[in-house]
């Protein structure tokens, strides 16, 4: 057991990533950049409002970095060695759990050394959280990289209220079964008082698995799991969202409006702008989306002098094999399409493999006539919500995969099955050509949804439920 530090933080977030990533350039200059991904986009405004401590890895291997203050909260960096980055992060987290949890759209690999490293690193995160959390603090553990932390942390600090939220899908029993360490992973989560999922199906999968594979005898009733010692863990869905007002205000600022005008001009003032924004990840359905758009151009349904697909993709997990393959595939596909369609002017597909500042993202969203979000499987997909918040006028359209968690909430989007290329092509054309009344009706319903369901409300809802569960069963 670890003694509670009397001056510790009353609220602690524990995530693999910190909100900022440390980069060291070849000349030794140190820089901190916003970390990639939806988890940081969602949680940063929560931390800014609540304060406390954020425990996480700073993105660079073999470096120890001291705590520091950032935007009103304390950043607590956890070091990882190069070997741990390889085995715990790129290996077990992103080449075992990530593909398996996303319907096995890529083949998950199982290696015992990766698992050993995963346990070791989870223990380190739990110990660091135990050191920084004040007496009776709330500790909120995030995502699949840290499945074991809730139970490890409870052993160190039984006085804490522990929540866990999974940002990605939680797989069906048949897939989860394959994992040699399934009992330990489930047991890890059961250390939390409240386990949150993006959609009800994820919570149901977890409860079903708990019944069959918990490491100890448990009773499952409704959303409650009663453990051997009488403690109760609750599993429920809490669909995550964004700082809707923050995005809207940014998009309405004069700077972003000017940037949007410039961007449109740089693209040659096309009549229709299709936009894709993703981490370069094989779950995002980029191959399917680009093929569908390429065929529409090749068949003459879209005229490259009038329409463009602007696709931006943030570099992600670049040393993992599947990600290297994806990068090459997309480079080839885009190059081939652009060499085959259109005249000598601007390309039909404008593709940038880069990360852009938030204001540029807002400018892109505001000029996009059709936002194309086509993951093969996605926990939620915040890009879809950011588009709705930033696209001020009612003339936009959101094409959204049925396999994104967001599809359960954004019912007025143009829903597609990304595996059905012809269906997707038809829907892309419909979204681009529907009359203003239809588009307005759909967009205003989407805007209402995103305005009402904000990140503040999500965090409040989760933390209130955590308080209730801990009070009732603690």
Give contact residues for ligand F6P (rule: CB under 6 A). Answer: 16-17, 36-39, 143, 167-168, 316-317
Give the nearer residue to ligand F6P in terms of CB position, either 166 or 337. 166
CA angle 406, 205, 117 (to 5 degrees): 95
Give the nearer residue to ligand F6P in terms of CB position, either 21 or 224. 21
Give the nearer residue to ligand F6P in terms of CB position, either 198 or 366. 198
Give the nearer residue to ligand ADP in terms of CB position, either 189 or 383. 383
Least separation, in Å, of the C-beta of 277 and ligand F6P? Answer: 14
Least separation, in Å, of the C-beta of 130 and ligand ADP? Answer: 27
Q: Which stretch binds ligand ADP (CB under 6 A): 141-149, 219-227, 249-257, 378-386?
A: 378-386
User: What residue 198 binds from ligand ADP, ligand F6P, none (CB within 5 to 8 A, per partner kind)?
Assistant: none
Least separation, in Å, of the C-beta of 55 and ligand F6P? Answer: 14
Least separation, in Å, of the C-beta of 381 and ligand F6P? Answer: 10
By the rule CB under 6 A, 246 interacts with ligand ADP: no
By the rule CB under 6 A, 382 interacts with ligand ADP: yes
Q: Which stretch binds ligand ADP (CB under 6 A): 72-80, 134-142, 157-165, 381-389?
A: 381-389
Distances (CA, A) of 441 to 244, 369, 407, 436, 451: 20, 15, 17, 9, 16
Give the nearer residue to ligand F6P in terms of CB position, either 236 or 317. 317
Q: Which two tokens stand for residue 94?
A: 């992103």
Cβ burial of 452 (10 Å; 0-12, 13-18, 19+) is: exposed
- What is the pattern of x (binds ligand ADP, CB under 6 A) and - over residues 310-339? --xxx-------------------------
By the rule CB under 6 A, 380 interacts with ligand ADP: yes
Distances (CA, A) of 266 to 134, 260, 350, 382: 52, 10, 11, 26
| Dist. CA 157–CA 136, nearest whole Å | 9
Give the nearer residue to ligand ADP in terms of CB position, either 96 or 138. 96
Interface of this chain with ligand ADP, residues 344 to 363, rule: CB under 6 A: 355-356, 361
Give the nearer residue to ligand F6P in terms of CB position, either 167 or 442. 167
User: What residue 380 binds from ligand F6P, ligand ADP, none (CB within 5 to 8 A, per partner kind)?
Assistant: ligand ADP
Least separation, in Å, of the C-beta of 39 and ligand ADP? Answer: 6
Least separation, in Å, of the C-beta of 334 and ligand ADP? Answer: 15
Backbone dihedral angles phi then psi of residue 171, each to the nearest 5 degrees: -75, 165
Least separation, in Å, of the C-beta of 316 and ligand F6P? Answer: 5
User: What residue 96 binds from ligand ADP, ligand F6P, none (CB within 5 to 8 A, per partner kind)?
Assistant: none
Q: Which residue has the tokens 């410039």?
A: 262
Distances (CA, A) of 143 to 22, 222, 459: 21, 23, 15
By the rule CB under 6 A, 37 interacts with ligand ADP: yes
Q: Which stretch binds ligand ADP (CB under 6 A): 32-40, 55-63, 73-81, 92-100?
A: 32-40
Interface of this chain with ligand ADP, residues 270 to 289, rule: CB under 6 A: 277-279
Give the nearer residue to ligand ADP in terms of CB position, either 226 or 314. 314
Least separation, in Å, of the C-beta of 266 and ligand ADP? Answer: 16
Give the nearer residue to ligand ADP in terms of CB position, either 223 or 244. 244
| Dist. CA 318–CA 62, nearest whole Å | 18
Least separation, in Å, of the C-beta of 420 and ligand F6P? Answer: 25
Least separation, in Å, of the C-beta of 37 and ligand ADP? Answer: 4
| Dist. CA 224–CA 290, nearest whole Å | 44
Q: In the complex, which residues of this chain contact ligand ADP (CB under 6 A)? A: 36-38, 41, 277-279, 312-314, 355-356, 361, 380-383, 386
């Amino acid at each position: 057991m670890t003694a509670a530090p009397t001056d510790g933080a009353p609220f602690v977030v524990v995530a693999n990533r910190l909100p900022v990533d440390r980069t060291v350039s070849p000349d030794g200059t140190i820089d901190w950049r916003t970390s990639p991904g939806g988890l940081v986009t969602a949680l940063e405004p929560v931390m800014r409002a609540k304060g406390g401590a954020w425990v996480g890895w700073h993105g660079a291997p073999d470096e120890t970095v001291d705590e520091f203050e950032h935007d009103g909260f304390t950043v607590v960096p956890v070091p990882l060695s190069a070997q741990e980055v390889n085995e715990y992060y790129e290996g077990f987290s992103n080449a075992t759990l990530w593909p398996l949890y996303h319907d096995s759209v890529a083949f998950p690999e199982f290696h015992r050394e990766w698992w050993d490293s995963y346990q070791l690193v989870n223990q380190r995160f739990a110990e660091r959280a135990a050191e920084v959390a004040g007496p009776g603090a709330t500790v909120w553990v995030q995502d699949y990289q840290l499945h074991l932390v809730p139970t490890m942390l409870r052993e160190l600090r039984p006085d804490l209220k522990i929540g866990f939220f999974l940002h990605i899908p939680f797989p069906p029993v048949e897939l989860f079964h394959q994992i040699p360490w399934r009992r330990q992973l489930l047991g890890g989560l059961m250390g939390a008082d409240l386990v949150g999922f993006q959609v009800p199906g994820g919570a149901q999968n977890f409860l079903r698995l708990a019944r069959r594979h918990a490491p100890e005898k448990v009773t499952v009733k409704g959303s409650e799991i009663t453990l051997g010692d009488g403690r109760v863990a609750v599993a429920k869905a809490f669909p995550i969202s964004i700082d809707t007002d923050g995005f809207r205000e940014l998009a309405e600022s004069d700077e972003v409006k000017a940037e949007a005008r410039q961007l449109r001009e740089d693209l040659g003032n096309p009549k229709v702008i299709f936009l894709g924004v993703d981490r370069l990840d094989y779950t995002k359905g980029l191959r399917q989306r680009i093929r569908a758009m390429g065929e529409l151009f090749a068949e003459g349904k879209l005229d490259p002098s009038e329409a463009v697909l602007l696709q931006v993709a943030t570099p992600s997990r670049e040393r993992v094999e599947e990600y290297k393959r994806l990068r090459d595939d997309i480079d080839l596909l885009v190059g081939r399409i652009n060499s085959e369609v259109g005249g000598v002017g601007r390309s039909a597909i404008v593709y940038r493999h880069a990360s852009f500042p938030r204001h540029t993202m807002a400018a892109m969203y505001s000029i996009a006539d059709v936002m194309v979000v086509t993951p093969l499987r996605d926990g939620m997909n915040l890009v879809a919500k950011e588009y709705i918040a930033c696209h001020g006028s009612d003339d936009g359209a959101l094409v959204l995969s049925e396999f994104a968690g967001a599809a359960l909430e954004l019912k007025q989007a143009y829903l597609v099955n990304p595996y059905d290329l012809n269906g997707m092509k038809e829907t892309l054309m419909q979204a681009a050509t529907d009359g203003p009344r239809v588009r307005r009706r759909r967009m205003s319903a989407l805007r209402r949804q995103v305005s009402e369901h904000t990140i503040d409300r999500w965090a409040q809802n989760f933390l209130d439920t955590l308080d209730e569960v801990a009070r009732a069963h603690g």
